[in-house]
Amino acid sequence: MVDNLVVVGVGLIGGSFARALKKAGAVRRIVGIERSPAYGERALALGIVDEVATSFDAVAGADLVLLAAPVAQTRRILAALAPHLGPGTVVTDAGSTKADVVAAARAALGGKVAQFVPGHPIAGRETNGPDAAIDDLYIGKKFVLTPLPENGAAQVERVAGAWRACGAVIHRLTPEEHDKVFAAVSHLPHLLAYALVDDIANKAHADLLFQYAASGFRDFTRIAGSSPEMWRDISLANQGALLAELDAYMTQLAHLRARLAAGDGATLEAVYGNAQRARRQWIEAIEAAEAPQPIDNAE
């Protein structure tokens, strides 16, 4: 049970965390802190938060603080809240990158860094802001903890317990492992989707192309509807790992281009077949993992 929760950034991710905890009866009071006054008022009107605070005084006395703003905001938010951080408060985050967030926490919190437990919910969608927040976003989804050596077991458990109450299954990675994995399966796909839509939008006959684009294009590009600020921050924060994945992908594209130019149908079919098999196996595994589990989801 969280007594006093502060959510910094009450958009899709922070708002869904607040809604899920409220639905589970696992929180008593939620205070929101927002850069956008309109989003703060909206979160209050929607009942996502009980109060909107305009200063970080609200952090004093909180038992849990969730940072759910774009990752480039992490250092300035932590620096602003640090003077108000009492010893009983645990701060966590939902950022999509972890090595930069950990570095920002060390720089901003100094001797209080043990109170920061970094994490990342592996769930989301392409819509943003408080209106996008839903109470079942995290059910059956993974939450990756990347704890610091300084974190105490009780501090880590306070964060893990809150996410379990939202329905999430707890996993652990190091920040470096985390950033390499998500460069490949999240950050690269977003860059590719944005690149394709931008490329088509810039063509002279874009209107004609969009007129006939159908479900294949819609599925491939859904994530290009996501927040440009958030994805700018993620791309730059994970620049090294993202560049490595992009280079590997460009090698694959160059290979496929050469085989296509050569009219090598056998190789194209073999690559497509391998991808189809791998995707089917992944879908089966993910559906089994996300099915309602009768047993508890302890790490």
Ligand X SMILES: NC(=O)c1ccc[n+]([C@@H]2O[C@H](COP(=O)([O-])OP(=O)(O)OC[C@H]3O[C@@H](n4cnc5c(N)ncnc54)[C@H](O)[C@@H]3O)[C@@H](O)[C@H]2O)c1
Q: Which residues contact ligand X by CB under 6 A?
A: 8-14, 33-36, 39, 68-71, 73, 77, 94-96, 120-121, 124-125, 128-129, 132, 227, 230, 234
Task: List the 142-145 sheet strands across, edge first.
Answer: 119-122, 142-145, 169-172
Q: How many C-alpha atoms does 45 have within 13 Å on its Cβ side?
A: 8
Q: How many C-alpha atoms does 74 have within 13 Å on its Cβ side?
A: 29
CB 72, min distance to ligand PRE, A: 14
Which residues neighbour 247 within 8 Å (Cβ) at sequence distance 6 or greater? none
> Which residue, 89 or 186, is less far from ligand X as judged by CB?
186
When CB distances are held under 5 to 8 angstroms depending on the partner's kind, the choice from ligand X, ligand PRE, none that residue 12 binds is ligand X
CB 226, min distance to ligand X, A: 6
Positive or negative torsion for Cα 128, 55, 60, 31:
negative
> Which residue, 68 or 183, is less far from ligand X as judged by CB?
68
When CB distances are held under 5 to 8 angstroms depending on the partner's kind, the choice from ligand PRE, ligand X, none that residue 223 binds is ligand PRE
CB 71, min distance to ligand X, A: 5
Longest dimension (CA), the chain: 68
> Which residue, 124 or 175, is less far from ligand X as judged by CB?
124
When CB distances are held under 5 to 8 angstroms depending on the partner's kind, the choice from ligand X, ligand PRE, none that residue 147 binds is none
CB 290, min distance to ligand X, A: 16
Residues 269 and 106 sit within 8 Å (Cβ to Cβ): no
Q: Which residues contact ligand PRE by CB under 6 A?
A: 96, 122, 124-126, 186, 223, 226
